[in-house]
Structures are given as C-alpha cells and as structure tokens.
Structure 1
Amino acid sequence: MHRTYSSNSEVTDSAAAGTAMATGVKTNNGMISTAPDGKELKTILEAAEEKGKSSGLVATSTITHATPAVFASHVASRSNEADIAPQLLENGVDVLLGGGKQYFPDSLINEAEENGYQYVTNQDELENAKKADKLIGLFAEDGMAPELDRDETDQPSLAEMTESALDVLKKDKDGFFLMVEGSQIDWAGHDNDAAWAMKDSEAFELAVEKAVEFAKKDGNTLVVVAGDHDTGGMSVGGYGKGDANLEVLRNVSATGDFMESKLNADRSN
C-alpha cells in the first residue's frame, strides 16, 4: 500500500499519483517527476540505472503516457508526450513496449537503432526479438487496442510484452527494474465500460502471472502489485439493488468505443 495523493487537488491524476510512486514526492496534477517548484525528482528507475541495473517500461497506453513517463522523464505537463519520448531513450531505458508511435519520429527511431535498440511493431516481430539486448516496441500510433478488441489487430497482449521484457532484462547480471502498467483499466473506468474494465483486469492478471512465474524461478526478484489511483467510481452491485449480474458482462465481445466506431455518421445502422 502507498499514498499517491496530489499536492494541489482533492482528486489526483496519473501524473501526480505516478510521480508519488516513482519518486516518493507529492506533486501537482499534470506534472511528470517534477516538484511543484519545478525541480526534477530522481525516480526509482533512474536510481536502479545508477546501480548498473537494466530497466524497462511496458504499458497498453502510449509508452509516453503519464504513468510510464514518470519513471524516466521530467516535464512540467503530461501532455508534452513529444518531449517525453526522447527523454525515455536518453535516460537509457533498455526496454520500451506499448503504443505511441506518433511521438517517435523516424529520426528518433534511427538514433535508437544506432544505439543498439531492436525496433519492433507487431506481435510476430516481438516474439522473434528474444535475442535483443535493448528493445523498443511501438504497436499503435496512439494507445494500444483494449484487450476486448485486440483480436482485430496484430498487437501483443500485456502478458506477451511482459514476458518479452523479462527475456531481455534478465540478461543483466546486476538485475533490473521493470514497470508494467495495465493502463486501460483506468480508461475503462473513465468510460464506465464494465466489460472493458473486466477484460483488461484479466489481461493484467495474466501479466502478473508471468512476473510471478519469473520471480519464483529467479528467487531474487521482488514483484509489487499496486494501483496509482481509482477512476470513474466503478463498483460491483450496490445502490441497494442487490447482486450485480456479471454473467451479462462476460457475453460482451467489444468495448463501447469499438462499437461506436462501427456506426455510420447518421447512426442509421
């Protein structure tokens, strides 16, 4: 358990909450590992790198989104994702897996490849990247597909990304720091989309299983599972109406966003 409240708001956001997780310091909403007075805050990932360890960030959002960003970048506003992208590479993060291709221009990818990164863009390429020493995988222009809609894409699952990250990072004899985020549990909460939230929670659980399986074999790895903040007031049952009928949700096969994207402009279908 940890406290991740914002220093300037009753309701925290991912930037302030993530900064509290990554640095131990409370900051204003929207600030990325930067104190309210503008001072850059050292993160746990940067401390691990200083000790000679490898590091990785995995997310189903853009890899430049607030929670992954707080571990390896410093900006005054979380919306500056184009400024966050080069910092992730400058900070020497060895594995970056997620969405956000739009924030990594060809020049930045070329520079990364010159510095020893293998670059992959889909599930098959990721599967074949186990020999890489440094890895960058960008699987969508923006955020990745929700788990409910992933079979419409060639994107890897969170568990597959976690496993690939571990395959690369475990080569470092000094150890490693890896942060894996099931980012879209949060987005589903914002949208009040219960089936999306459940399916992405299940995908996160499968990723946790990969991490715990590795830790049991390794015998020298700590796995921490925590949330940075609650979103959207999602609850099971309540309001005096008795039990929730969760079986209904199991039959939902797409997110509300996906269904909405299939509607005609005039909603005639």
Structure 2
Amino acid sequence: MKAQEKLLEHLKTFPNYNVAKNVIMFLGDGLSIPTISATRIYLGKKNGLQYGEEQELFFETFPYTGLSKTYCVDTQVADSACSATAYLCGVKANRGTMGLSASAPRKSCEAMNNASNHVESIFTWAQEAGKSTGLVTTTRVTHASPGGGYAHTAERYWECDENVLRDGLDPELCSDIAEQLVLARPGRDIQVILGGGRKMFRPVTSVDEEGDSGSRLDGVDLISRWHTDKLLRGARPHYAWNKEGLLKMDIENTDFLMGLFESDHLLYNLDTDATKEPSLPELTEVAIKMLQKNNKGYFLFVEGGRIDQAHHETRAQKALDETEQFQAAVRVAAQMTSEQDTLIVVTADHSHVMTHNGYPRRGRSVFETAGVSNRDGLPHSILSYANGPGYKRPTSNGSRYDISTDNMRDKDYRFPALAPLGSETHGGDDVPVFARGPWAQLFTGVLEQHVIPHAMAFAACLGDGLTACWARRHALRPEDLLHVPVAPWQWSPRAWATA
C-alpha cells in the first residue's frame, strides 16, 4: 500500500516552469549519504517510531533529487573552499582557495589580487538583479562555505589579518576575509549576516560581550565599521550578539542585520544554552523575515556547518544531531515560502568517511554495536570512520580494542576509526542534491558541482548566462531549448540575441 501511495505521489509531480522570485540554498557541510541514513534512524527513534528506519528527513520529501560530483581542480577529495567556489560561483577551483579560478595558486597574494582570476558568486548576480541577499551559518561567518559567496582569497584560513601575518605575508596586500565581508562588494551589500566568529572582527586588545578577546592586530573593530558604513548610506543597521537581541529586534525598521553569537563557531546544538544562543531554524526564520521585505525577491544561503566539524572529531552523535537541526531549518523555510515562487536547493559540499555498516537488527540505535559476528569474537560499531581521532589502539597482547563496555550513547563519544589521524578527513564520494520549486527539475541526474549555481541562476533569471526569462521573452517552450544553436561555454546575452 505504501509503495502504491508513493508511486501515485510521483505521478502527480509535474515540472514547475515559473520564474523563481526567491532562491534558498541549504548547504549541509559534510552531509554525506550515510549521514542522512543514520540521522533518519536517530530522529525516528527520538520520535518514538517502532523502528526508526522508516523516518524521512524533511528535505527527502522534495520531488527532485540528484547527485553532485565534488572534486577540486587539483585534488580528488574537496575541501569546503574549492567546493564553495563551485556551488556559489559556478567554477571549479583549487583546494583552499575561494572566489578565484584555478589559475590562482594557493597562498599567492599576487594571484589573489589579479582581477582576471576573480570569479563572481550568485550573491553578486542576485544583488545586480535588485534582490536582497543573506547568509546564515553555524560556523564563523568568515569560514570557507559562507566565504565562498563574497571573498576572493588564495587561502581559506586568512579569516583575519593575524592569519595573514602568521603566513609571513602583508595584510595590506592580502585583504583578509572579514575585511572583505565588511568593506568590499558583494559582502558589504549582504543584508543579513548570521553566525559566529566575532573574534575575526574585533581587535586583539578588545574584549567582546561574553568576555572573549578579539584576534585582529590592525586595531580595527570591523563590527563598528560595518555599523558606520550602513549609517553613512542612510540605512538602518542592527547588530545582535545573543538570542534576545536577535528575536526582539524591529525587523520592519531594520535594513541590515549582523548577528555574531559566539567568538568562534556556534556551539553544537547538544552543548548550547537555548535561552542564550539561537538555533539554526530560528536564524533561518529571522533571515527570511528580513529578506522577504524586498518585493524583487532574495537569495539566501543557509549552512549547517557543524555537521562537518563533528565528523572531523568522529563524534557521530553530534553530527547526526546537527543534521536534525539542519533539516528542521529546511522545514521552516518551506513553511514560510511558496513552492510556486521559491526554489529551495539542499545539498552538501563534500562527503565524510563515516560508514553505516554491519547487519544490525531493525530498530536498533545506531549508537550501539552491530553484534558479534567477527572472527575475533569482539563486536564492531554500527557507525565507524575510515580515519580520525576515534582510533582505538590494540591491547597490550595485540588483540583489537573491545568497545562493548564503551558508553557509545555519550554525546562526545568518538566513534572507532581505522587509521589514527588528529582530524578525520573528507570523503570523495558524490553528495545528494534535493530540490523543490521553480525549475527544480534541473537538479536531477549526476551533476558537476559547479552546475548548481548556474541552474539556480537560470530559474531566478540571474547573471549573464541562459535564463528562464530569456526563454519567456522569446516565447520558447522548455522543449525548444533542446535546439538552441550555441554551446554552453558560448552563452551570453549577445550570443542568445541572435539565436
């Protein structure tokens, strides 16, 4: 019966050819397919289902699904910088670089300052179309994923001037990421900035609202500079550092919003004080309320960034809990918008090396062993990693470590890893893409990751490439696009004008 119901649901799905007024991109940092399957069970058990495996994450209900190939130009396995350049700027790049083409080597100030190496993001395309833009993250707002939307940098870790100096370079020549966000375009025109990372904006001599020191050595308070810049432009800015300051603000009388809720990354959801720090769903709701005031629409980027960091620590329970928060934020966005005019795309930047394995019986918690079926008579865990700090050293007699007495339900438990590394690595496997709304059908099949922003731009009529608006102006039906006489790399308004 359930299979027939699902079949009928698919039969009732028809492509939406509307122009997307709004685009919301959700990026689950490190959201691998095993992470999704394990989170289903984690959430299903929390929701009291008989087993748990039958649980669906909200974005899994979206009508269109594809896969994204995540490699960088120079490496098989991506980091969050080169991948951000792909899914936000539409160009594959070198590992560790953001907003630059692959012509720019890592850590090269000269290449970074060469405008011919710069690639613009969908933030710029949206702003040029008169749309509002916003970014939300659970990491520092200067971290690699959000930074790919506004920064041009040859080193992802140059988040403030102190990091540039540490590499023996001149911050006057290599503008740091926080400075680019506040002083350069498109960063200074992003109307909503919500996340962590206060220390990247404050001088090392200062103490912030929660008693933490800044990191900047240039003596500049970039939060103050951000506020002054908006006032000089006749706008009404609002800065928040805690949940109360965010939720009590007057949205209707605020034009620009910056919320930095931790000196570093936001706390893991399992560690946070919910009365002081807003959740990812709450941040998403405020961002949408701010951006939807623009009748021309908006582009919003939302990152569940700490999924990735929990995996690096092999703390699988925290990774799954962050994924639950992420899917809850997607649900909030869907409830606040219309599928008729808002394209929502959910994807990941790269995978991780966590596996969901063994033959555990249905309904078992994923934070347990898979049972004893091994030749040495010792159990193995249902979730484990190919490498990372969860490595369990053999005993003095050479036998494998016995995890049966470990408290695997502890939120900070480091799940077993095959190879000992200080930080677990990313994985090179493809990651999922889920989409709903106008032109969501474009996000099916196996895609190169850098196709994603071009497809979003097509749906929302952004940038200089082929768009749904061009097709409408020329009274083309979707099937007519099969016969357009130019190759993709030749797409431009001039080329299409003669098509």
Normalization by structure 1: what TM-score?
Answer: 0.87
Q: How far does residue 109 in structure 1 lie from its aligned partner after superposition?
A: 1.2
Whether the 8 Å contact between 1:146 and 1:255 is mirrored in structure 2 is no
Q: How far does residue 190 in structure 1 lie from its aligned partner after superposition?
A: 1.1
Q: Distance in 1 between matches of 2:273 and 2:262?
A: 14
Amino acid corresponding to residue 347 of structure 2 in structure 1: A
Q: Deviations over 1:86-138 (max 9, x none)?
A: 22233211111001000112631112222142100001111012332210000
Query: For 2:344, what is the secondary structure of its paired residue?
Result: coil
Q: Distance in 1 between matches of 2:151 and 2:118?
A: 9
Whether the 8 Å contact between 1:58 and 1:179 is mirrored in structure 2 is yes
Query: For 1:224, what is the secondary structure of its paired residue?
Result: strand
Q: Distance in 2 between matches of 1:145 and 1:252?
A: 19
> Closer, same or farther in 2 for the Cα pair 1:155/1:200, shift >3 Å?
same
Whether 2:399 is the aligned partner of 1:242: answer: no
Match of 2:392 in 1: none
> Closer, same or farther in 2 for the Cα pair 1:252/1:19, shift >3 Å?
same
Whether the 8 Å contact between 2:70 and 2:77 is mirrored in structure 1 is no
Query: For 2:272, what is the secondary structure of its paired residue?
Result: helix
Match of 2:198 in 1: 101
Whether 2:255 is the aligned partner of 1:255: answer: no
Whether the 8 Å contact between 2:196 and 2:265 is mirrored in structure 1 is yes
Whether the 8 Å contact between 2:88 and 2:122 is mirrored in structure 1 is yes
Q: Distance in 2 between matches of 1:167 and 1:86?
A: 27
Higher helix share: 1
Whether 2:224 is the aligned partner of 1:110: answer: yes
Whether 2:172 is the aligned partner of 1:52: answer: no
Equivalent of 2:307 in 174, 185, 190 = 185
Whether the 8 Å contact between 1:18 and 1:67 is mirrored in structure 2 is yes
Q: Which has the larger radius of gyration?
A: 2
Whether the 8 Å contact between 1:148 and 1:253 is mirrored in structure 2 is no
Q: Distance in 1 between matches of 2:361 and 2:137?
A: 33
Amino acid corresponding to residue 156 of structure 1 in structure 2: P
Match of 1:87 in 2: 180
> Closer, same or farther in 2 for the Cα pair 1:256/1:119, shift >3 Å?
farther
Equivalent of 1:202 in 324, 342, 351 = 324
Match of 1:225 in 2: 346
Whether 2:226 is the aligned partner of 1:148: answer: no
Q: How far does residue 3 in structure 1 lie from its aligned partner after superposition?
A: 2.9
Match of 1:62 in 2: 140
Whether the 8 Å contact between 1:54 and 1:177 is mirrored in structure 2 is yes
Amino acid corresponding to residue 224 of structure 1 in structure 2: V
Whether the 8 Å contact between 1:57 and 1:96 is mirrored in structure 2 is yes
Q: How far does residue 57 in structure 1 lie from its aligned partner after superposition?
A: 0.7
Q: Distance in 1 between matches of 2:76 and 2:256?
A: 40
Match of 1:166 in 2: 288
Q: Which moved more, 1:153-162 or 1:96-105?
A: 153-162
After TM superposition, the structure 1 = structure 2 runs for residues 4-43 of structure 1, keeping only pairs within 5 Å, are: 4-38=70-104, 39-43=117-121
Whether the 8 Å contact between 2:150 and 2:181 is mirrored in structure 1 is yes
> Closer, same or farther in 2 for the Cα pair 1:133/1:252, shift >3 Å?
farther
CA RMSD of aligned residues (A): 2.0
Whether the 8 Å contact between 1:57 and 1:68 is mirrored in structure 2 is yes
Q: How far does residue 243 in structure 1 lie from its aligned partner after superposition?
A: 4.6
Whether the 8 Å contact between 1:100 and 1:140 is mirrored in structure 2 is yes
Equivalent of 1:76 in 154, 162, 173 = 154
Amino acid corresponding to residue 158 of structure 2 in structure 1: N
Q: Percent identity?
A: 36
Amino acid corresponding to residue 333 of structure 2 in structure 1: A
Q: Distance in 1 between matches of 2:70 and 2:366?
A: 34
Query: For 1:223, what is the secondary structure of its paired residue?
Result: strand
Query: For 2:257, what is the secondary structure of its paired residue?
Result: strand
Moved over 6 A (4+): none
Whether 2:69 is the aligned partner of 1:3: answer: yes
> Closer, same or farther in 2 for the Cα pair 1:256/1:154, shift >3 Å?
farther
Q: Of the two structures, which has the highest relative contact order with CA contacts closer than 8 Å and spacing of 6 or more? A: 2
Q: Which moved more, 1:102-111 or 1:27-36?
A: 102-111
> Closer, same or farther in 2 for the Cα pair 1:243/1:19, shift >3 Å?
farther
Q: How far does residue 219 in structure 1 lie from its aligned partner after superposition?
A: 3.7
Amino acid corresponding to residue 245 of structure 2 in structure 1: E
Q: How far does residue 189 in structure 1 lie from its aligned partner after superposition?
A: 1.3
Whether the 8 Å contact between 1:101 and 1:139 is mirrored in structure 2 is yes
> Closer, same or farther in 2 for the Cα pair 1:190/1:247, shift >3 Å?
closer
Q: Distance in 1 between matches of 2:336 and 2:68?
A: 24
Whether the 8 Å contact between 2:81 and 2:95 is mirrored in structure 1 is yes
Match of 1:264 in 2: none
Unpaired stretches in structure 1, ≥5 consecutive residues: 258-269
Higher strand share: 2
Match of 1:135 in 2: 257
Q: How far does residue 147 in structure 1 lie from its aligned partner after superposition?
A: 0.8
Normalization by structure 2: what TM-score?
Answer: 0.48
Q: Deviations over 1:43-94 (max 9, x none)?
A: 1111101111110110001010000000111110000112111222332111
Q: Distance in 2 between matches of 1:255 and 1:126?
A: 29
Q: How far does residue 241 in structure 1 lie from its aligned partner after superposition?
A: 4.7
Amino acid corresponding to residue 266 of structure 2 in structure 1: M
